[in-house]
Structure 1
Amino acid sequence: MTAPVPLTELQQRMRRFRDRMDTREPDWECVVIFSNISLYYFTGTRQDGMLLIPRSGEPIFRVRRSYERACHESAFPRIAPMRSFRDAAGDLPVMPATVHMETEVVPLALLERFRRHFPVKTIYAADTHLAAVRAVKSPYELSLMEEAGRIHQRVLEERVPELLRTGMSEAEFASLLYPVLIEEGHHGIVRFGMFDTEIVMGQIGFGESSLYPTAFNGPGGCLGLCPAVPLLGSRKRTLKDGDLVFVDIGCGVEGYHTDKTMTYVFGKGLPAEAILAHRQCVEIQDRMAAMLRPGAIPSEMYRTITDSLSPAFLENFMGFGDRRVNFLGHGVGLLIDELPVIARGFDEPVTEGMAFALEPKKGIPGVGMVGIENTFIVTPAGGRCITGTHPGLLPVPVR
């Protein structure tokens, strides 16, 4: 087993969350946490249970399964077993009238079972407060992300070219890439907060299949295995001389992710239009990275960049056809898609220690999705890249 999340780290997270609730929700009484991600963030273990955070008194983590594992993995001070919510009802000296919880992820049936024994009158959302606290990473968290970034760089910039060969399918390439990631230290899964999202590694496409429409909220595309599983890649689309290879995947270490996209040119070169568009995307990434200083406003970053682009370039920018996304980057950490987002409506300034994936991309008809993505840490000197500096369109000889 790896070392548990230090108690001091858990205490610091809880303190920061309580401070935010006191500031933003001065009348809060109790917060109840159910989601695996938030449970892991506050307790250091992903067990089936419920974390009660009363305004007065110490938080308690009630665990259905596995209590034994929770005690083994977690340094959290108060962990107790729970068969049903009835066991936990006495943990609060006075039943609160209101409770904050993750309204984006708690199912109605779970809420109804909870209210049988916790008959609170009003439920308020804690989602944005939890996301805001998680957005600022500690040195401990950043160290894990930096390791994920090193793995990401090594795999995408050094090892992927060794895997590509004429005639292989997208699915075959994906099946070779996954064990390489695991071998290098990837924790084996890519987690998203977007509702009902399934993903294995990310989006992989040869040529025009990287433009194929998907339900996923990102600029790239992916054919996938079948309509029921639009993931990994097609068994039918095979790699041929002159293809653009698009690889947009996550990588993680002990729960913490980085996000990175690399493009490759297999064999003969791409059209000049595609190369020029790609280079402009790299320039946009570098401009945004220079803006990532404490105090920067994500919505202003978005407006500054988009207002500087010509109408011709904006066509098929951040997507293809009418399938464009309205952001240029996003927070990343325990989830790939964390807050804040570099988009309209995100008007609070960023702070040192936040992490962003910057991903300017542009679809090129008949070629595929060009562009780039890397993960950056906010510093006073601008965004510090932790996933490598290769500009993409990495040439790979035909074999």
Structure 2
Amino acid sequence: MRQGNTWHRILLKMMHRGRIRHLAQELRRRSIPSLLVTNLPDVRYLTGFTGSNAALVVVAEPRVSARLFTDGRYTVQAKREVQGATVRIAPKSALAEACDWAEQHAARCGFDRSQTTVAALASMKKSLGKRSFFVPADGLIAALRMVKDAIEVDYMRRAASLTCSLYEGLLGWIEPGMRERDIAAELEHRARLSGAEAMSFETIVASGERSSQPHARATQAHISAGNLVTLDFGIVLDGYCSDMTRTFAVGYGEKPVPPKAKVRWAEQREVFGAVLAAQQAGVNAVRAGATCGEVDRAARSVLEAAGYGKYFTHSTGHGVGLEIHEVPRVGKDSKDVLKAGTVITIEPGVYLPGRFGVRIEDSVLVTEDGAEVLTPAHKGWMEL
């Protein structure tokens, strides 16, 4: 076991050093000598550190070096987790010390404007002698994180596999009359007992009319026969998120569908079939070299042809990784090109206001010639 832990740490150190070197190459390509990283998922990606307070400086010239600044609460944790960077326990503000160190070791320092507040930028500049020290360097780490390496793919496969198992196990437990909030609570309890570190986001359980709201929160509403239920959830495992949505029907058991409900029941099945076809078309369009816009159009065109295009009110998907929403955005105007190793969601939906909605979502890994569905749990029409 001790030998295995040693090899694991060596592997992690090599991985994080490789990521920092890759980042340094991109900095040199942009003629930016250094980069200040304050977004915690980015810090974790580059060094493995999972604490709640950190500022990382990566210097690209004349030689690659990296230093992570944090506070005394994380003295032990930083020593255990940080790979590829030296650690400095800051007696004052970690951000202030990071800025001071960067100024001493580089002529200029990049920062990501999308991850930096106005207040934070003012604080960064406060004690510096060089007024023009900070320069924009947007999206550098996001672009690196978009393509997952073999270790990340393994983490995400395991997170997705557990997600599917949780869903399949929950189906045998759900019964008509249960409250949405109870279903969400049971799912999250099972996730924790199964080893999940957290949920990727607040679990969505939306039944009946509420399923027409794409991001409805679970409420005290009871699920009932003749209605659809949308369940959208994910877990965090080894720091990586999963994301999956399934819509299922609450049936009438052995009783026939009541005459008054037949039209609505048939319409729900029709909409479900259109969404399922659109979702599969989106998955089929995924491959390295395809644009995100092409994938969106593949799914959206199916719903438009079925007459439901105006009821598909969001993009087809998004990237997933250390965060539940990452680049790229799989939208109709997106020109982002998919690369092998990227994990995205394919999640078309139809939402008929005040009536019902259907969404089906898989997380998929982009491959050179297609897509590997990471969440292969049953997604066809199903009645509880």
TM range (shorter): 0.7 to 0.9
Deviation at 1:249, TM superposition (A): 0.9
State which of 311, 322, 331 in structure 2 corresponds to 1:343: 331
Match of 1:259 in 2: 243
Pairing 1:310–2:294 present: no
Report the residue type matching 2:19 in the other structure.
R
Q: Quote the residue 1:79 is aligned against.
A: 87
**1:20 Cα deviation after fit:** 2.8
Cα distance change, pair 365–137 in 1 and its aligned pair in 2 (3 A): same
Task: Give the corresponding residue for 2:260.
Answer: none
Instruction: Please give the secondary structure, in 2, of the residue aligned with 1:163.
Output: coil
Structure 2 Cα separation of the partners of residues 311 and 101 of structure 1: 46
Q: What is the deviation of 1:353?
A: 0.5
Instruction: Tell me the secondary structure at the aligned position of residue 243 of structure 2.
Output: strand
Matches within 5 A, 1:207-246: 207-212=208-213, 220-222=214-216, 224=217, 233-235=218-220, 237-246=221-230
C-alpha distance in 2 between matches for 1:120 and 1:62:
22
1:361 deviates by: 0.9
Q: Tell me the percent identity.
A: 21
Give the aligned partner of residue 109 of structure 1. Answer: 119
2:14 corresponds in structure 1 to 8
CA contact (8 A) 1:163 1:176 kept: no
Name the structure with the higher helix share.
2
Shift of 1:39: 1.0
Q: Which amino acid aligns with 1:63?
A: T
Cα distance, 1:117 vs structure 2: 3.0
Relative distance call for 1:94 and 1:75 in structure 2 (3 A) is closer
Counterpart code for 1:242:
G
Residue deviations 1:286-312 (CA, integer Å, cap 9, x gap): 222222211111123323443453272
The aligned runs of 1:1-399 (5 Å cut-off) are 6-23=12-29, 26-47=30-51, 48-56=53-61, 57=63, 58-64=65-71, 65-84=73-92, 85=95, 87-88=97-98, 91-92=101-102, 94=104, 96=106, 98-118=108-128, 119-121=130-132, 123-156=134-167, 158-190=168-200, 199-201=201-203, 203-212=204-213, 220-222=214-216, 224=217, 233-235=218-220, 237-268=221-252, 271-307=265-301, 309-310=304-305, 312-317=307-312, 324-325=313-314, 327-364=315-352, 367-396=355-384
* Matched residue type, 2:183: F
Aligned pair in 2 of structure 1 residues 19, 394: CA closer, same or farther (>3 Å)? Answer: farther
How far apart in 1 are the matches of 2:98 and 2:24? 21
Equivalent pairs counted in the alignment come to 359
1:310-345 alpha-carbon deviations (Å, 9 max, x no partner): 27221312xxxxxx22x1111111111111111144
SS in 1 for 2:153: helix
Q: Which amino acid aligns with 2:202?
A: V
Structure 2, unaligned stretches of length 5 or more? 258-263
Structure with the greater alpha carbon radius of gyration? 2
| Amino acid aligned to 1:146 | R
Decide whether the 8 Å contact of 1:97 with 1:121 is kept in 2.
Answer: no
